[in-house]
Each structure stands twice: as structure tokens, then as C-alpha cells.
Amino acid sequence: MTDINKKPFYRLYYAPGAASLVVHWLLIETNAQHELVSVDIAAGEHKKPEFLAMNPNGLIPTMLINQKPHYEAAALALHLGDAFPEAGLSFAFSDTERRVELYQWMLNLANVVQPILRAWWNPHEPAGEAHRDAVRTQCQERLSREWTRIDQHLAEHGALLGRITVADFMLVMLMRWSRNMPQPATNWPNLAALAARLKQRPSFAKLYEIEGLTEWT
Ligand SMILES: N[C@@H](CCC(=O)N[C@@H](CS)C(=O)NCC(=O)O)C(=O)O
């Protein structure tokens, strides 16, 4: 069994602004010892055999935890919340009631919201090149319903779990991806307030500097 007091060493395979962003952000936020490996998606580095040996899905993020490869942004974010309890971004292992709420939100974001955004950024994927515009229209409609639902929840709770957790970092990354949509997530006031709150953290400025990001500051 892993000793929770002995901190792992991480190597994150990332691309600027990609789904690795939440993991990178949390590595900074938790002060985790880590190194970064930039992956050139355009050059197809993530489809090469050496990468597929780490992540057979051929996707970013992929992260070595003590040299063992792991993937899925939501899972990696949950792990960092657990591995760094002092950062206060998760709940104690004994607090199963709160933890199930955290799992619920993370999986809801990863399974419901994230795929819509993936389809928006890759509109040829669901039904081919000929249907790009229809896919994008549908993505916006579906996503607006999701933003409304989450915004209403935030109006009552302020943060997804009532206080800032790894789930809010995940949400803000997904919000960022909607920045060029006709109705970006920041059109919803409680979502905008949450993003503004997280953007004030020093970790956000550091993340942007390292990834060389400029949009959506
Ligand atoms: N479910 C995966 C999705 C990851 C994902 O879609 N990553 C994108 C970057 S944002 C990627 O690797 N795209 C390259 C490709 O699809 O070939 C996760 O959350 O980690």
C-alpha cells in the first residue's frame, strides 16, 4: 500500500491548454515535485509506439506517478487531491459522504460536459466533415443546458462542493475551452465568478507562464 506521507514524483506529458491543463495546474497548486514533457500533438507524437505503451488511448494527459503511467485527467486530478491533503482540495478518506459527491461531480464533468467540448473542438469526429456546422450548433445547445444546470448549483453553493476542490479546477479548465463559442461559459454569472476566483490564485499565473498561454486571462 502507498504511504500517503511519502510524496510521489510526477512526470506529466502535456500540451499547452489541453486536458493536461487541470493536472498541471494542480501539480503547481499542490507544490508537487514534477517534471513536464511537452507533446507535439500536431506531429502525432502521442500516437507513436513509445507513447501508446504508456497510454494505449494515445491521449494527453498521460502522467507517470513514480515511473508508472496513468491517464484520464479527472482521475489524475482526484489523485492529486488525495496525495496532497494539506492543499485542502479533497475530502478525508473517512468522509465517504463528501467523497461520493466529489466523485459524482468529477465524473459528471468528465462524462457529460467534456465530451461535448471535445466534439466542439473536433467537429468532424461525431459525423464526418460534412456535418461540422450541425455538430457545432448542437454542441452549443447541449452545453448551454449544462452550464445553466451547473450555474444554478453554484448560485446555491458557491463552489461545486461548497468549498474549492479539484472539481472546481476541472470545471474551470472546461469553461476555458468554451471561450470561443457563441455562448462561452462566462456568460453564466456564477460560473464567471468561480472562474474569476480561481484565476486569482498564483498557480494560475504560473501555469499560464509555463504553458505560454495568453487567451482567457
Ligand atoms: N478522457 C481523456 C480525454 C483527453 C483528450 O481528449 N485529450 C486531447 C487533448 S485536449 C488529446 O489528446 N487529443 C489528441 C487526439 O485526440 O489525438 C482525459 O480526460 O484525459
Model confidence pLDDT, tens digit, residues 193-212: 999 999 999 999 999 999 99
Residues 116-156: tens digit of each pLDDT: 999 999 999 999 999 999 999 999 999 999 999 999 999 99
Model pLDDT, residue 4 = 60
Model pLDDT, residue 70 = 98
Do 25 and 204 contact (CB within 8 A), yes or no? Answer: yes
Atom 18, ligand 1: which residue's CA is nearest?
72
Q: Is 61 in the pocket of ligand 1 (CB under 6 A)?
A: yes
Q: Is 59 in the pocket of ligand 1 (CB under 6 A)?
A: yes
Residues 2-44: tens digit of each pLDDT: 566 688 999 999 999 999 999 999 999 999 999 999 999 999 9
Q: For residues 141-160, b (16+ Cβ closer than 10 Å) or e, as one string?
A: ebbbebbeebbeebeeebbb
Burial of 17 by CB count in 10 Å (0-12 exposed, 13-18 middle, 19+ buried)?
Answer: middle
Question: Ligand 1 centroid to 122 CA: how many Å?
Answer: 11
